[in-house]
C-alpha cells in the first residue's frame, strides 16, 4: 500500500474505534504526513522511505475493546507481544490476514529511549497526536535515523510555534518536560543539532526553506537552554553521560523484533 492509502486506512480505523469505544491516535510518519500540506514535495526531495506500518497511541483501559475490534476486522494478534504483556508490556501488535499491514498500538505511554505519557493528551488532536507530541516522539529517539530527522525537518518547515491551534507546535509543553528531565533534554537537544547538520547537507532544498528551518531549530535549542531548570535536573546534569540517561528499546519491550 502507498503511504496515502495507509493514512486513509489509519483514519478509518480511528473512526471505527470511536464508534466502538476505542480511542486511537495516529503517531509516527503517517501522523507527520497528515499534518503536512505545503511541503509534501520536501518528503520527495528528502526521499523519505515509505512506511509499511500503522502506529497508534491508545488507552490501556480500552485494551480489551481494541483487541476485539481488530480481531473482528480480520487482524491477528502478534503472539510474542501477547506473551510479553504478562510482564507489563503495554502495547498491542496486529497483522492483517492479507499479510500486508501491521498495526502497533502503544498504550498510555510511548516508552522508548525516553517515556512520554499520553494519558491526558488524546483530546488535543484527532486523528493524530498533537504536533508537539509528534515532535517529541521523534526527539526522544536515542539512535535517531535519517528518516526521523527528515520528519523533524518537514514538521518545522510546515509549522510555526504557538498554542491553541491544531497546526501550531506548543513549545511550552516541550520546555515543561525538558526543564525537568535532563536525559530527555540531552537527547532532544542532540537530535535538534543533528537535524541542523543533516539539513545543511540537503542541497536540493530551497535556500529560503533551509534558512527558515535552521532558524526554528536554533530557536528550539536556545529556548531549551535558557529555560529555568528544576533542582533535580541540575543534579542529574552534574552526572551527565557518565551514567546512562536513556533506555534501550529492546530492553524496554523484552521481545525480539
Distance CA 74, CA 94 (A): 9
Q: Quote the number of domains for the chain.
A: 1
Distance CA 39, CA 56 (A): 24
Segment 220-235, tens digit of pLDDT? 999 999 999 999 999 9
Domain interval for residue 160: 3-253
Distance CA 45, CA 176 (A): 34
C-alpha cell of residue 20: 466502538
pTM of the model: 0.92
Distance CA 1, CA 215 (A): 36
- What sign has the CA pseudo-torsion 89, 54, 27, 166? negative
User: What percentage of the chain exceeds 90 in pLDDT?
Assistant: 80
Q: Residue 182: is its pLDDT beyond 90?
A: yes
Q: Residue 78: is its pLDDT beyond 80?
A: yes
Q: Are strands 168-169 and 109-111 parallel, antiparallel or unpaired?
A: unpaired
For residue 257, what pLDDT is reported?
Answer: 35
Task: Report helix angle 171-178 to 182-200, nearest 10.
Answer: 130
Q: What is the mean pLDDT of residues 92-100?
A: 85
28 pLDDT band (50/70/90 cuts)? very high
Q: What average pLDDT is seen over the chain?
A: 91
Segment 148-179, tens digit of pLDDT? 999 999 999 999 999 888 899 999 999 999 99
Q: Residue 186: is its pLDDT beyond 70?
A: yes
φ, ψ dihedrals at 60, nearest 5°: -60, -40
Tell me how far CA of residue 249 lies from CA of 48, 89, 182, in angstroms: 23, 12, 19
Give the range among 5-19, 75-89, 112-126, 169-183 with minimum mean pLDDT. Answer: 75-89
42 pLDDT band (50/70/90 cuts)? confident
Amino acid at each position: 500500500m502507498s503511504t496515502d492509502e495507509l493514512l486513509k486506512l489509519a483514519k478509518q480505523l480511528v473512526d471505527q474505534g470511536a464508534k466502538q469505544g476505542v480511542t486511537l491516535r495516529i503517531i509516527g510518519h503517517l501522523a507527520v504526513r497528515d499534518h503536512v500540506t505545503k511541503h509534501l514535495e520536501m518528503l520527495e526531495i528528502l526521499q523519505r522511505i515509505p512506511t509499511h506500518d500503522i502506529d497508534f497511541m491508545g488507552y490501556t483501559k480500552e485494551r480489551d475493546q481494541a483487541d476485539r475490534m481488530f480481531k473482528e476486522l480480520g487482524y491477528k494478534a502478534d503472539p510474542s507481544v501477547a506473551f510479553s504483556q504478562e510482564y507489563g508490556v503495554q502495547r498491542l501488535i496486529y497483522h492483517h490476514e492479507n499479510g500486508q499491514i501491521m498495526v502497533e498500538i502503544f498504550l498510555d505511554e510511548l516508552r522508548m529511549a525516553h517515556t512520554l505519557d499520553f494519558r491526558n493528551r488524546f483530546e488535543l488532536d484527532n486523528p493524530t497526536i498533537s504536533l508537539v507530541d509528534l515532535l517529541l516522539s521523534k526527539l526522544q529517539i536515542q539512535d535517531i535515523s535519517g528518516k526521523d530527522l527528515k520528519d523533524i525537518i518537514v514538521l518545522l518547515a510546515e509549522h510555526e510555534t504557538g498554542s491553541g491551534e491544531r497546526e501550531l507546535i506548543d513549545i511550552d509543553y516541550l520546555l515543561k518536560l525538558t526543564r525537568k528531565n535532563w536525559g530527555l533534554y540531552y537527547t532532544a537537544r542532540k537530535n535538534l543539532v543533528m537535524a541542523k547538520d543533516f539539513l545543511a547537507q540537503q542541497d536540493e532544498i530551497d535556500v529560503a526553506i533551509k534558512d527558515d528551518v535552521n532558524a526554528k531549530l536554533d530557536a528550539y535549542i536556545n529556548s531549551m537552554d535558557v529555560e529555568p531548570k528544576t533542582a533535580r535536573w541540575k543534579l542529574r546534569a552534574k552526572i551527565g553521560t557518565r551514567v546512562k540517561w536513556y533506555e534501550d528499546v529492546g530492553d524496554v519491550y523484552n521481545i525480539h523484533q
